Amino acid sequence: MIQLTRLNSKPLVVNSDLIKTIEYAPDTVITLVNDEKIVVRESGEEILARIVEFRRRVLEGLHTNFTGWPSPSGETAEAKRTDRPSEET
């Protein structure tokens, strides 16, 4: 989710996964996948930067908070990292 500003200065939060297109001229117009159009104050470049930052934070959070997959018994199985060598010798 990214926070943007409508032309009337009211804040708006948009689900960035629902953005279909961003038009740049003269105003910035966001078209959502349902074809709803939203006109905002931010530039296309600023919107893209906010989307990238939001996704970076989401992926970073997934990576650091993952503790393992639930087992059939409902307990969380120990997670094994695949991005680092095993600490076992």
Evaluate whether residue 22 is within a structural domain: yes
Decide if 79 is inside a domain: no
- Mean pLDDT, the chain, whole residue set: 84
Q: How many domains does the chain have?
A: 1
Which domain range does residue 17 map to? 2-62
Residue 55 lies in a domain: yes
Supply the pLDDT for residue 59.
Answer: 86
Q: Is residue 81 part of a domain?
A: no
Whats the size of the chain, residue-wise?
A: 89
Determine, yes or no, domain membership for 38. Answer: yes
3-state secondary structure 46-65: HHHHHHHHHHHHHHHHHHHH
pLDDT tens-place values along the chain, 89 residues long: 999 999 999 999 999 999 999 999 889 999 999 999 999 999 999 999 999 999 998 888 766 656 666 777 666 555 555 555 555 54
pLDDT at 2: 96
What's residue 10's pLDDT? 97
Residue 48 phi, psi (nearest 5):
-60, -40
The tens digit of pLDDT for each residue in 65-81 reads 566 667 776 665 555 55
Structure tokens at 69: 């997959």
The Cα 40–Cα 87 span in angstroms is 50
CA-based radius of gyration for the chain: 20
